[in-house]
Every structure is written in C-alpha cells, then in structure tokens.
Amino acid sequence: MQTPAHSGMGALLSYASERALAPGTLVRVPLGAREVLGVVWEGEAAPLPAGKSVRAIAGVLDGIAPLDGHWRRLVAFAARYYQRSLGEVALAVLPPQLRDLNPVQLARRLRRPATAHTGADASSLIALSAEQERARGLIDTNSGPFLLFGSTGSGKTEVYLRCVQAALDAEPVNAIAPQALVMVPEINLTPQLQERFTARFGAANVVSLHSGMTDAQRLKNWLAAHSGAARIVLGTRLAVFASMPGLKLIVVDEEHDASYKQQEGARYSARDLAIWRGREQHAKVILGSATPSLESWHASRPATDGDPGGRYLRLHMPSRIASGDNAGSLPVLRVVNMHHQPRRTVFSAPLLAALQERVERGEQCMVLLNRRGYSPVLHCADCDWKSDCPHCSAHQVFHRIDRTLRCHHCGYTVRVPRACPGCGSPDITAIGQGTEQLEEQLTHLLTGVLRPDGQPVKVARIDADTTKLKGALQSQLAQVHSGETDVLIGTQMVAKGHDFRRITLVAAVQPDGALFSSDFRAPERLFALLLQASGRAGRDAQYVAAQGSRSEMWLQTFHPEHALVAALRQHDYPAFAAQQLQERRDAAMPPFAFQALVRADARTQEAAQGFLQAASDAARTHALAGLEQVTLYPPVPLAIQRVANIERAQMLLESPSRVALQRFLAAWQPLLHATRSQPEHKGLVRWLVDVDPLAI
C-alpha cells in the first residue's frame, strides 16, 4: 500500500501476492512505471472476484519483520488526526533508505554484526534527592501520563535515567525485550544527554534517530529499534514514529519546546502523539520541563472541589540539586527600566558595568537577542526608502560582515547599495540591532577590559549565521566550555539546554517585542526562553559560591511592571501560568478551545482568500457534521503576507470540542479537494490544514 503524497483521501491500493503476507510486511510494488516501497495494510486470503485483476507485488523485504499493529495504528491515527493520507504519513516516517535501496542492497545492510550487550553501569549510581525519589516512586506506582515539573538543574535527567532503567528491567512480554524512547527537541544542542545515556546503559543499547544523521545511519538505527536490538532510542520529534515493539516508556524532555511540532507535510505534534502512543501501547509517558506548555500544565491540574483535575499526574521538583532545599542558587533578576536610559541605548550603563565586573573576575556571560544580522532594516531619512525585499512583504536584513542585504524569508540577497536606491542620498542608516551589531558594539564597549589572566576580553557570537558549516556549532560551543569565550552573544539557539558551568550572568537586551505580539502564545514562549536562559546562569552552584558571587538574569525593558517580569523575578512559573490560563479561559483560547488552520498559497491574495471562502461556503451549504460546534473565521492574510512572490492567506477554525472539530475536518476534507479542483481556483498554488497550530 502506498499512495502518492497528494492523492487526497489516500485510499489503499490492492496488489496480489502468491504468498500470504502479514499486515505490516514491507514490500516492493509497481506503481505506474516505477517500483516503490509499500506496506501491507490489510491482507485477504480470498481469491479475487472473477473479472477483477490487480498487479502483483514485485517483492517482499524479507529479513525485516512486519511493522506491528501498534505502529500501524499510530500511523493511521496521525494521518486521520492531522488530515493527511495514510500512505504519505507511513512513508514519510520510515527511514528514507527503506524506500531507496533495492532488496539486494538492503539485504547487505541487514547483515550487520551482532552487538555485544553491555549492561548498565550501576556502579556510578548516585543517591537520589528526596524530591527525585518521590517523583520516581510516583512514576513507578502510577500509570501516568506524568508531567515532571522540575527547575533547571533539579535533576530531571537523573529521574529519566532511573525510570528508563526500571522499564528495561521489566519482564519481557512474548519474548520481546522492553524498550524506552527518549525525545529531545534538538539533539545537536544536547550532546550531554546522549553522553549520560550511553555512559549509563552502554553505547550498544542506545541508538539515536534524528534528521541530522546520514540516511545509512538512520536506517541502521531504525532497524536496531525495530528488531529490538536497541533498547533505548534517543531522538527528535521524528523518533515518535520509531518502530519499537517492546516500548514501555516514553520520555519527552523540554516538552514545551516548539520543535516538537512538525511544520511541513503532516504537521504533527510529537508530544501529543507520544501521549496517544503511550496509551495505545501501554507505555508510561513522562513529559518534563521547567516551563511546561500551558496545555500540559492545564492537563495536569490537581483535582479541586467541582473539578476532577487533569488527566496527567503532576510531579514537582522545585529545588536545584546542588543547593538542596535552599533556592539560593537561582539567579537574581535585575531589571533595567529603559525609560530611564538615554534614547537608543543598546547596552545600559548598569548592565555594561555588570558584564565588565564578571569578566574581570573570570566569569562568563551570555547576551541574548533573537535577531541575527547587523540590523533588521536600512532606511533613507531623505526619501523614506527602506530595504524591502522585492519578493516578500518583509525587510531585507543588513549583514555587515559581507555587506549584503538578505531576506530571511526567501533568501534573496543583494550587495548593500552605496547610496539610496530611491533618491541617491548617501545617507542611509541601519535601524535597530541584530546579534552581529551587538557583537561589534560590545567588543568596542569592553575594549581594555582584562580577564584575571591578563588577556583581553573575548566576545563571541553563536547564531544561525556563524554555525552554517558542519561542526561549527560544536567547535564554537567548545570554546565557551573551555573558557576561551568570556561573553557569548546569541539567539535562542544558545539559551536551550547547554550546560555552561561558568556562566553567571545572562542578559536579554530587547525582549519587549514578544510581550505585545499578536501571537497569543508569545508571552508563554518568552517566559520559557527567559527562565531557561536564566537556568543557564549559575548551574554550578559550587563554582558560583567559590567565586563569592551570585548568578544574575538581566532584563532591559520598557515594561518593568509587566506581570511576566514579576513572575520571572520570583521564578514563579505557576503564577505566570495561572495568569495566562485565566486570560486564555476568558478569551476561549487553547487549552480551553481547539483550533485548526487552513492555509492557502496563491499568486494573488484574492485567489488565496477566494479558495478559503469557497471552501468555507461549501461547508455551510453541505451543513457538515460538527459545524454547529465549530466557528469558521473569515480568511485573512498571514502576518508576512507574501513570501517569494507567493501570497499567503489563512482561515482559523475553533471549537470547544476536539471531537467536534475532528468530525468536522474529516467531513470537510473531500469538499476542500473538490473546491481545489474547480476551474475558478486553478490559481491556487497549494493548501494545507494545520491541526493544533502553534502560531496563528
């Protein structure tokens, strides 16, 4: 069974086989003039009715056990829930080489040497803290799902390791050895986690699965998980689809992270699928975070009078390991009111003094700005020309390093003009700051500052521009770890997950944009980013104490009175979440409502919106099931309306009931396809449905 990606409803295809084939068997089948990979979805022993003929399969991928019912049900659920065809999802989540290798090549791959089983390195087990012990015990005795709400440095990873150990120690069922799946947002950013798992369980038992690996590695690791040889899979979102017949435990670390949501093809949430998969396959699920998503927070609310509580069990680990019960090592928040600073200040005097002091003591600092490049726009004061991208409704960003203007949406790049292209004035200025400019300014402002070893201060930058080359990120991170870098400037890329032991100060220089964004999730993301970032400061309490200093989180803001700032000062995620959830409840937004988006791309905005409007009208004309509980909002242009000369529009659907929304979407899909094929909509380039969208 395989259907081309855009075949609409993705009906199953029928083929004949001499041999009876179990569902889940991988086969090669003819499709048109090609031969492609297929998965047997259902088999019927009966001969074909007279007069009906189907093509025969071309071959069976012997040597690979059939994909089990759990895997097939997961794929079927994901396809249905996220409104894609079964064949598309099934093939997209299998390793690419399964599709591309012929049976001979594949047979060669399967002849790999058996790996020696190296047991857990139990000798290095540390005693759990009381909080860790309590969490571990509750996970042991309850079925979950669990939300492990633990501060950065509270020892969540150690709890995962113990739970994985417990899962693997369970008795095999039907001779299938137990397995565990551990998911992380981005594997390249968390090499320490991988090291800890391989150190504990032995390299042979742990395989990773993520898109950064070669196709050959990915196939090898996938097969190891599928055959049961690998007991632990460590991976990114795509690993949620790993075939793991013995799956007993799923860990989703940093569960709030947006990268668990796939943003193309089937737009699935790996976190949400993990919950579904855990229930279906009787595997425990642990979601872990210091700043949970509001969805998971709400789903784990304790029972109260009149509210039976959420379906998850919340486990709280508030204390950092090194500091025991005293929260003393949590960074202190320093807020600079930018109203009291000279206009156009980038680094306020108090922040600058703090940076200098830390460097002179030999400590490290991290400065965050979520905008790369030198400045987001060039401007001519004489004629008001701006460096707009000709292909997008966005500015081209000024990159000083190679004197280019680059569009971050379509990639269109030109050299910086010497004079204003509008009026010829030589006086064009850069407005606003990106990381490149921060690096330049800070290097300048800290000139003459010396480290304790007498060396001049070293400022470095890590962002998508500095890490394009393979291995660049690793070597730049190594420079921070080795202490060569004193001040690290970076985008959110550096705020996540790294264990920089000597960083004692983290500063967000311009966080205000997210406080008043049109995206209702922006404050949640900002809070998570800042709390995560502040978790980078002072992770090594002994180091901080020996230095006789306190770790600090700095915020330069025009809104020091904002509720988010107050919650951040107290490191009080629950207070922040309570306030945000109240707003969401009042506005009937997720998690109190369920959403889907339909996106349309076309040559003109009218065509894009026209398609959405027609599809919406069709739903009403047909009085579709679920419609009475679903609100269809009018089509609107996207915030960045045009990218690479394609106009983009979207339509929001909202319902208080997930079931009603699902019922409606299922009934609507054929109408969307029918609308698409009407001649008046041939100007449409593409359309897609995004269920539970992260950004609207």
φ, ψ (nearest 5 deg) of residue 26:
-85, 130
Which of Zn ion, ligand ADP, none lies near 626, with the C-beta cut-off 5 to 8 A by kind? none
The C-alpha atoms of residue 273 and residue 75 are separated, in whole angstroms, by 10
Secondary structure of the chain: what % helix, strand, coil (to 5)? Answer: 35, 20, 40
What residue 329 binds from Zn ion, ligand ADP, none (CB within 5 to 8 A, per partner kind)?
A: none
- What character string, x for contact with Zn ion (CB under 5 A) and - otherwise, covers 367-386? -------------x-xx-x-
Q: At its nearest, how many Å lie between ligand ADP and the CB of residue 274?
A: 18
CB count in 10 Å sphere of residue 129: 19
Residues 6+ apart with CB under 8 A from 156: 148, 150, 253, 288, 317
| Interface residue with ligand ADP, options 132, 205, 262, 293 (CB under 6 A) | 132
- Asked if residue 286 binds Zn ion (CB under 5 A), the reply is no
Alpha carbons 1 and 294: distance in angstroms, whole number: 39
By a kind-dependent CB cut-off of 5 to 8 A, residue 466 interacts, out of Zn ion, ligand ADP, none, with none
- The tokens describing 97, both together, are 């080489």
Which residues are CB-neighbours of 366 under 8 A, at least 6 positions away? Answer: 487, 488, 489, 490, 494, 495, 500, 503, 505, 506, 507, 533, 536, 537
CB of 481 to ligand ADP, least distance (A): 14
Residues 111-130 that bind ligand ADP (CB under 6 A): 126-129
CB closer to ligand ADP out of 158 and 524:
158
CB of 317 to ligand ADP, least distance (A): 7
Site string for ligand ADP, 140-159 (x = CB under 6 A): ----------x-xxxxxxx-
Min CB(409)–Zn ion separation in Å: 5
407 binds Zn ion (CB under 5 A): yes
Q: What are phi and psi of 335, to 5 degrees?
A: -110, 125
The H or E element that residue 441 is part of is helix 435-445
Minimum CB separation of residue 592 from ligand ADP in Å reads: 29
CB 181 within 8 A of CB 187: no
Residue 425 binding partner per list ligand ADP, Zn ion, none, with a CB distance cut-off of 5 to 8 Å that depends on partner kind: Zn ion
* Span from 389-397, 491-499, 538-546, 679-687 in contact with Zn ion (CB under 5 A): 389-397
Restricting to residues 212-241, which ones interact with Zn ion according to CB under 5 A?
none
Q: Are strands 487-490 and 364-368 parallel, antiparallel or unpaired?
A: parallel
Q: Which of 222, 290, 215 is nearest to 568 (CA)?
A: 290
For residues 153 and 523, which CB has a smaller minimum distance to ligand ADP in the complex?
Answer: 153
Between 353 and 423, whose beta carbon lies closer to Zn ion? 423
What is the chain's Cα-based Rg?
Answer: 27
Place of tokens 């380039």: 685
Helix count (H) and strand count (E) of the chain?
19, 26
Contacts (Cβ under 8 Å, ≥6 apart) of 235 = 181, 182, 183, 184, 187, 208, 209, 210, 242
Query: Is 155 or 693 the residue whose CB approaches ligand ADP more closely?
Result: 155
**What residues from 446 to 485 belong to the interface with ligand ADP (CB under 6 A)?**
none
CB of 638 to Zn ion, least distance (A): 14
The per-residue b/e assignment along 223-233, b for 16 or more CB within 10 angstroms, e otherwise, is bbbbebbbbbb
Q: How far is the CB of 290 from ligand ADP (least distance, A)?
A: 7
Q: Which does 383 bind (CB under 5 to 8 A by kind): Zn ion, ligand ADP, none?
A: Zn ion
Q: How many residues bind ligand ADP (CB under 6 A)?
A: 14
Is residue 24 part of the contact set for ligand ADP (CB under 6 A)? no
Residues that bind Zn ion (CB under 5 A): 380, 382-383, 385, 389, 391-392, 407, 409-410, 412, 420, 422-423, 425
Residues that bind ligand ADP (CB under 6 A): 126-129, 132, 150, 152-158, 321
